[in-house]
Structure 1
Amino acid sequence: MALLSFLFISSILIAVTLWKRFTSREKIPKGLKPLPGPKGYPIVGSVPDVPEKNSFIKFADWGKEYGPIYNVNLAGHNHVWISSDQISKDLLAKKGAIYSDRPHIPALLSDNRTSSQYLPLLSKNEGWTRQRKFANTIMKESERALFHRYPELEAKRMLVELMDDPARYNHALESFISRVTCRLAWGHSNASDELKQRARELLIGVSPTGALGNKLPFLMSLPDWLVPAKAWERRRAATERKFFEVMQGQVESDMQEKKAPQSWMRTFLENRTKWGCSYDLEGAYMVGMHGIAGALTIAAPMQTFCLAMCFYPQYLPMLQEELDRVCGDRLPRAEDRPNLPFLRSVIRECLRWRPPVPTGIPHYLTQDDEYNGYHIPKGSVMHPLEWAIARDPQMYPDPEAFNPLRYMDSSYPTYQEPLTEYPTIINISQFGYGRRVCQGQTVADEDLLIGIGSIAWLFNIKRLSGDNTELTEPAVVADPEKVERMSIGINEKASISCEELNTGIEPTPTKEEVILSKFSYPGSSATMSEKANKKEELKKTVIIDPTLDFTTLLIAKPLPFKFDLTVRDGVRAAKARKFFQESEDNGDYKEPREFWGENQGRDKKLGWGKV
């Protein structure tokens, strides 16, 4: 009976989709032309042509074929993809009045556009306005207070965890970010495991390739007993609400006992009536959502850093030389920022080379518009395609290479002065456009400076011996469906072989190689002749880019991989343990708190869901 009901409803929805498609064709105003783009198929549009793995590469390839702005029909919805930073600014920033809404996310039970629960996903309305004012206040306060030294405190714990169990580097890096964010949000780090889980589950709920309700929206209109994905979302939302409520109550209790550390929640509670919240728990959601947003995104560039150092090892000794010169026998601090331009270059390049949100956070167009003679219809979902924007060869020569020197040498278009301030990640395109710019970018900046700087200060990072995977001229194509786990992000049939690359012409040194040849340091890169010999040895083998094994959700993180993480010397290791022990003796580290009982409440009404 349930199956018959499902098929009946599906048939009705398909019929409605067909009717809408053929009776409400978009009328193009006279003098304008439609945006170019792939033709697609009936009903589903271009959905079959978009791989779930590394779909951002497919969209970037279409941008090369159809131009820097084009549209794609995805199951009846018009999606506009922008591969140009300038076009993104022209539309999403300069015309922010009509481009600042967010599209509906069907898998969430509460409407993300109006519920005032998810600030980054809210449309432009009163809730969005008051929450942005609150966010602006707490970010400025945190920045002035050097983020209360929370990143520096948690970096000590992270380093000891990495020394004790380097194989669990992913856990240590994500815990570092989650603990810092927990302290900023509520003053304590003991809820960091729960915050990570809340972030994981929400990411599934909002990702196009995550929750089933985003792939088949009509399912969300059916009863929970018929759609397990809907029941999962209802439990996730209820658990999230209770978690935010409990954390707010903890800070209220701390304040009554006059022992509340500085936090965003304390700022909210000290001026509770000032913010004009529309319901009792809006403040809990304002703070909680900033916590989740931080826990979701900032660990990704730290994981990318480990990946980059494995495949571009020539830069780690340069980074360590700078840290040793500036920091000496201590860990990096916030005050070191002006004197660490190469560290900032490495961080900036991590975000460019492997952007954490490669498809960009989508905007929603609220009325018809035109651009350079093209008609953009109302209701279009607008994507500033970060993967393509970060690969503009005019701005980023040799864009597929990880090269932090592009911010340090004046011959590159990305070079800026003074080096005490630049390079910086503040206001780069990865943080969004116009009125939707991420307000937590200064937190990300501080976390990455202290986190990555501390790792490089203490550790050497190397690929495992015997790993012969080569990164010469990586083939970057989009369909990885039939590729084995280590054939990452690449279609074997579309890959480039070394034999095809061997044209008989001696390779010309890249600008990167010319600059690096001026430096002498341990671990210098191979000479051109050595590289040529390697190419000869790799003839008739397929070149696979192993740096593209990413998660498929909206926030794209490198999947865990194996590498050697070893301390640089025993003296540093002893100092790192001493730094940690001093903070532990001071009572700075608390045991993780469990909120839902045995087995994290997996079998209870509230608790952790399957991810």
Structure 2
Amino acid sequence: MFNLVILCLVSLLAYVYSVRNRRQLSVPPGPRGIPLLGNALQLPKERNWLTFAEWAKTYGPVIHVSIISSSIIVLSSREAISDLLEKRSLMYSDRPVVPMAGELAGMEQFTAMAPYGQRHREGRKLILGAINTLKAPELHIIEESKTADFISRLARSPFELRSHIRWVVASILLQITYGINAVDYDDPFIRAMERALKDFSDIAAPGAYLVDGFPFLKHIPECFPGASFKRIAREVSDRSLQLERKLYRTARDQLDHGTATHSFVTDLLANNRNPTPEEHEMYQQVSTQFFGAGLDTTVSSLLSFFLIMAQHPEIQRKAQAEVDAFVGDRLPKFSDREDMPYLEAVLKEVHRCNPSVPLALPHYVRREDVYAGFRIPAGSTVFANTWAVLHDPALYPRPEEVIPERYLDRSDEQSDLNPEPRDFAFGYGRRVCPGRMLAEDTLFIVAASVLASFNISDVIPREGGTVKYGGGIISHPDDFTCTITPRRAV
């Protein structure tokens, strides 16, 4: 008994000593802020990944930024991201409570925004049950069919490139998720989802709204001066919920009337004929994310593909020669994929040069931690600067250049260079995007079919100058036009 008491006292003293030492450590370095507001006024609403990358050059790969009383940790190196978000994933897998997007706009219930726990795990399980190698053949049939239609539309009106891209991605996702066949880009479901995604990208950007730094502001009445953010959040929430219910109800009606085809929602309901209200709510929310999460990101990647092809005709010719060697006069199929390593390398560069989510969704620190001699405060929000890693010259030599060959025929001495960029582009640790396979498959089949069918050239930015990337959470290239010429009859 005496020995047990001594052991407990020693353990308590060791714990107190450890906590005391941690408290004496400083947080990571970062730009100096101003009293009370911290760095709030220094954070841009757009292209914040570039600002963070510049700060990392001065302060190192782990920097600390404060917004009011909140700590933000930004990781800008592969090593730091791996050490914290992957090797210590249990501590770093939560999502922070974001007053504007999460609480006020109601997005905290979606799997991507949910805290790490039972609901998050159930949501991922449902998605991975629909997107996996066993389901791939039936998903490929839909993707190949929609892509063939996309090629015909693009041949008829190449000047509507952006609309055609948005249609093909949305129509694939609508068909797979709800069994809904969207005939054209003006489909009301597509328009409504695009609005919802823009809402999310705008309100979830770090520092976009003061309430995220002063959470008590969420309690003030909407009618108060300066409380317009509450109206914005309410309107975003109303639009999102209305769309969510309409899509889910459409799929349920198809099942009830015997007209349903296989889809994510109808399969869930067919396997569970009497879901509880809680299960209905879960299915409804997960299906909305299933549809929405891949839309904007895949559209961004396809626009980047067209941009790179138009700007680099020598890369385009090499990729076309590879595609032509295996498909002849037909459109490519997924069975051709293993014979197209150069195209795969091109698509890796698409993800590396312009990741669609350049600043990964935020992680939350469950308890105080120490890393690289610095204290990571409990409750900190952690962002991984994916763009900075994918443009790190120590990992990717000449990072500003598009070089598909960097992934081919590497020697043993180069094994640490040019790592797989898709391992960064789709999130980290236990928060890796569950729809990665579907996004990669869609990008491949559309890109291969475009190369087989068209020559792409002459990029012209809508507003002159060069094409830049902007956005909140999701990055898109500015509007541009390019010349798209059929290589053969389509």
Same structural fold, with TM-score higher than 0.5 when normalized by the shorter chain = yes
Letter in 2 for 1:288: T
With 134-143 and 260-269 compared, the bigger mean Cα shift is at 134-143
Match among 440, 453, 470 for residue 445 of structure 1: 440
Match among 95, 98, 101 for residue 105 of structure 1: 98
Letter in 2 for 1:272: N
Work out whether 1:455 is the aligned partner of 2:447: no
Match among 81, 91, 111 for residue 119 of structure 1: 111
Distance 1:231 1:47, change over 3 A: closer
CA contact (8 A) 2:390 2:421 kept: no
Matching residue of 1:59: 52
Q: Deviations over 1:350-399 (max 9, x none)?
A: 11011111122110101000112211111111111111110222221101
Alignment coverage as a number of residue pairs = 463
| Percent of pairs with identical residues | 26
Match among 469, 477, 480 for residue 558 of structure 1: 477
Q: Distance in 1 between matches of 2:202 and 2:301?
A: 20
Matching residue of 2:177: 185
Distance 1:145 1:259, change over 3 A: farther
Matching residue of 2:230: 230
CA contact (8 A) 1:345 1:423 kept: no
Matching residue of 2:14: none
Match among 26, 34, 40 for residue 33 of structure 2: 40
With 252-261 and 400-409 compared, the bigger mean Cα shift is at 252-261
Matching residue of 1:4: none
Q: Distance in 2 between matches of 1:412 and 1:53?
A: 40
CA contact (8 A) 2:352 2:421 kept: no
Distance 1:415 1:30, change over 3 A: closer
CA contact (8 A) 2:77 2:388 kept: yes
Q: Distance in 1 between matches of 2:343 and 2:350?
A: 11
Matching residue of 2:203: 205
CA contact (8 A) 1:209 1:553 kept: no
Q: Distance in 1 between matches of 2:149 and 2:463?
A: 32
Q: Distance in 1 between matches of 2:197 and 2:92?
A: 27
**1:293 CA drift (Å):** 0.4
Matching residue of 2:245: 245
Matching residue of 1:129: 121
Secondary structure of the residue aligned to 2:476 is: coil
**1:229 CA drift (Å):** 3.8
Secondary structure of the residue aligned to 2:469 is: coil
Work out whether 1:80 is the aligned partner of 2:78: no
Q: Deviations over 1:34-65 (max 9, x none)?
A: 31111221122223333444221121111121
Letter in 1 for 2:443: L
Q: Distance in 2 between matches of 1:254 and 1:295?
A: 23
TM-score by length of 2: 0.86
Matching residue of 2:336: 336
Distance 1:96 1:125, change over 3 A: same
CA contact (8 A) 1:105 1:112 kept: no
Letter in 1 for 2:433: C
Match among 131, 136, 143 for residue 144 of structure 1: 136
Q: Which has the higher helix share?
A: 2
Letter in 2 for 1:192: I
What pairs up with 1:388-407 in 2 under 5 angstroms? 388-407=388-407
Q: Deviations over 1:436-466 (max 9, x none)?
A: 01100000011000111122221111125xx
TM-score by length of 1: 0.70
RMSD: 2.9
Distance 1:236 1:283, change over 3 A: same
Q: Deviations over 1:224-276 (max 9, x none)?
A: 34444422332332232232222222222222333311111012112337998
Matching residue of 1:94: 87
Q: Distance in 2 between matches of 1:216 and 1:552?
A: 24
Distance 1:461 1:75, change over 3 A: farther
Structure 1: runs of 5+ lacking an equivalent? 1-25, 417-421, 470-483, 488-545, 577-611
Q: Distance in 1 between matches of 2:412 and 2:199?
A: 41
Structure 2: runs of 5+ lacking an equivalent? 1-18, 183-188
Secondary structure of the residue aligned to 1:140 is: coil
With 353-362 and 26-35 compared, the bigger mean Cα shift is at 26-35
**1:189 CA drift (Å):** 2.8
Matching residue of 1:369: 369
Letter in 2 for 1:552: G
With 455-464 and 228-237 compared, the bigger mean Cα shift is at 228-237
What pairs up with 1:433-582 in 2 under 5 angstroms? 433-464=428-459, 486=464, 546-547=466-467, 549-568=468-487, 572=488, 574=489, 576=490
Distance 1:219 1:174, change over 3 A: farther
